[in-house]
Chain A
Amino acid sequence: MKSFTYERARNPAEAAASVLRKPDAKFIAGGTNLLDLMKLEIETPAHLIDVNGLALDKIEPTAEGGLRIGALVRNTDLAADSRVRRDYAVLSRALLAGASGQLRNKATTAGNLLQRTRCPYFYDTNQPCNKRRPGSGCAAIGGFSRQHAVVGGSEACIATHPSDMAVGMRALDATVETVRPDGATRAIPIAEFHHLPGSTPHVETALSPGELITAVTLPKPVGGTHIYRKVRDRASYAFALVSVAAIVQRDGTGRVALGGVAHKPWRIESADSQLPRGAKAVMAELLSGARPTRENAFKLSLAERTLGAVLTEAKG
């Protein structure tokens, strides 16, 4: 691990300003992903700004009837919150399907959104990777690509976003709230928060330098049956091959977002409207333009069958 200096930030604006002042500075909250990547020298910050003292750890109702989740709320606490369990069960379920108990106790809401891909070529510093070293190439294309993206990828990158939580939030139309070093705040719809790789796979989110996530807000509950179904190589503690976050209403309408298939939580609103026609119709739209590799083409039928199972379950 490269040496770094360390400070504890006292308020969000100070933290954002401090990260701009120091070259190669990074925020650290739970640290479960950042520290892992620092050990491998994939992340090499020269300065760490510990944001754990920023009092962003509350879940509060919003004036619009939704919930405002502080950036530092731990995954365990978010999944266990009684309002989330009752009104946003797809988010609770998504969180509980991810990582282990130990990691969920540490991992934060904002950190979960910002976690990096688990592409093995991103982790292997001997391999080219356009995310890790822009312009060096992509070893996953033509390499072992069973886990990789089937849709939304590019010639530069076919990595997936590893989060379950973000897939649940995408189905719920969450909004990411931030503060910038000059104190300006903004709200980014989660659909626009994560970027597709394009020719710049190292630019993963809409955040500008020094911008700090302060909260994630959920709109008013939409009711319906909430299901998060995750398919993986073992029964627990593994990343998704495919996951489906679905909210299904009694009349068969609803929303679907997929995990494990793209560089971001994958949802296309026009595909939602196909829900009453069944899984095949939804996937024809949701995965149109998919370009799987020989090794991960199975994800297309796996996604359709998983959604089929989810819709059967939703009917009760």
Chain B
Amino acid sequence: MQGPSDFELSRRKILLGTAASVAFGVAPRIADAQTPAVPVQAGAAPAISMSKVSFSVNGKPREIALDTRTTLLDALREHLHLTGSKKGCDHGQCGACTVIVGGRRINSCLTLAVMHEGDEIKTIEGLGTPENLHPMQAAFVKHDGYQCGYCTPGQICSAVAVLDEIKAGIPSHVSADLNAPAQLTNAELRERMSGNICRCGAYSNIAEAITEVAGRQA
């Protein structure tokens, strides 16, 4: 019997292969659109509107022509093959797709790629590398700030931006005094990170990781 290693299969390759064959069987022309599983109805020609967009991703200029429906998340993952940003809910509820655009964290699933002409986008791939981790990545490893890891890129991008938001004096729902400098308390970090859901429940360790980096920065 041959093990998977004989074929050098990865989970990602298997998933990609499956998705591609499904798309091929149904609607090959919209394989890059957001909802490849929706069949194109017979007789109704799929009128696809394309648009060009240029932005910088992790410091590199990129220019792509896209179906206007493509979200920033799908552009990053499916067109630029930066698969660190994850698609969780695809409705802005889970935060797995969080990236940093113009210094601000956003849900990349809830924004169209074509709306980011000229923007500077930073993804988890731009924060650090396996050899040279960003301090937040290193702290997540040290504090075990994950279990399955699916939400982790979004958690880390969000956490990096949260510390910048506190530094910029942006208040939160739990800030006792709106007019005082924002504090770096556990309650503040938890409130500010509430847009990132972790179904494994690693929240305590995530908060510890952020606290360590915040302490180091202060």
Assembly CA distance A236 to B93 (angstroms): 12
Contacts of A5 in B (CB 8 A): 49, 68
Residue on A nearest B169 in the bound complex, by CB:
A80
Q: Which residues of A contact B158 (CB under 8 A)?
A: 101-102
Task: Give the residue name and chain of the A residue nearest to B193 (CB).
Answer: A101
Number of interface residues, chain B, beta carbon within 8 A:
47
Q: Are B194 and A4 in contact (CB under 8 A)?
A: no
Q: Please tell me if the beta carbons of B195 and A86 are within 8 angstroms of each other in the complex.
A: no
In the assembled complex, the Cα of A107 lies from the Cα of B48 at a distance in Å of 27
Interface on B for A, CB 8 Å cutoff? 33-35, 46-49, 51, 67-69, 71, 90-92, 95, 98, 104-107, 110-112, 114-115, 117, 158, 161-162, 165, 168-173, 175, 178-179, 190-196
Residue from B51, B69, B115, B175 in contact with A31 in the complex, judged by beta carbons closer than 8 Å: B115
Whether A1 and B35, one on each chain, are in contact in the complex, defined by CB atoms closer than 8 angstroms, is yes
Within 8 A of B (CB), among A1-49: 1, 3-6, 8, 28, 31-32, 35-36, 39, 48
A102 and B106 contact, CB distance less than 8 A: yes
| CB-based contact B195/A237 at 8 Å | yes
Kindly list chain B residues whose C-beta atoms are within 8 Å of the C-beta of A86: 178-179
Complex contact B69–A4 (CB within 8 A): yes
Give the CA-CA distance A79 to B173 in the complex, in Å.
10
Report A75-110 CB contacts with B as 1/0, cut-off 8 Å.
010011010011001001100110111110110000
The answer to whether B34 touches A39, judged by C-beta atoms less than 8 angstroms apart, is yes
**Interface status of A50 (Cβ within 8 A of chain B):** yes
Interface size on A, residues (CB 8 A): 36
State in angstroms the CA–CA spacing of A149 and B124 once bound together. Answer: 42
- Interchain CB contact under 8 A, A36 and B115: no
5 A-B pairs whose Cβ atoms sit less than 8 Å apart in the complex: A1-B33, A28-B115, A35-B110, A50-B114, A79-B170
A residues within 8 Å of B by Cβ? 1, 3-6, 8, 28, 31-32, 35-36, 39, 48, 50, 52, 76, 79-80, 82, 85-86, 89, 92-93, 96-97, 99-103, 105-106, 235-237
Taking CB as reference atom, which chain A residue is nearest B182? A80
Assembled-state Cα–Cα distance A48/B68 (Å)? 10
Q: How far is the CB of A206 from chain B (nearest CB, A)?
A: 27
Smallest CB gap from A8: residue in B: B117
Q: Once the chains bind, are A6 and B68 in contact (CB under 8 Å)?
A: yes
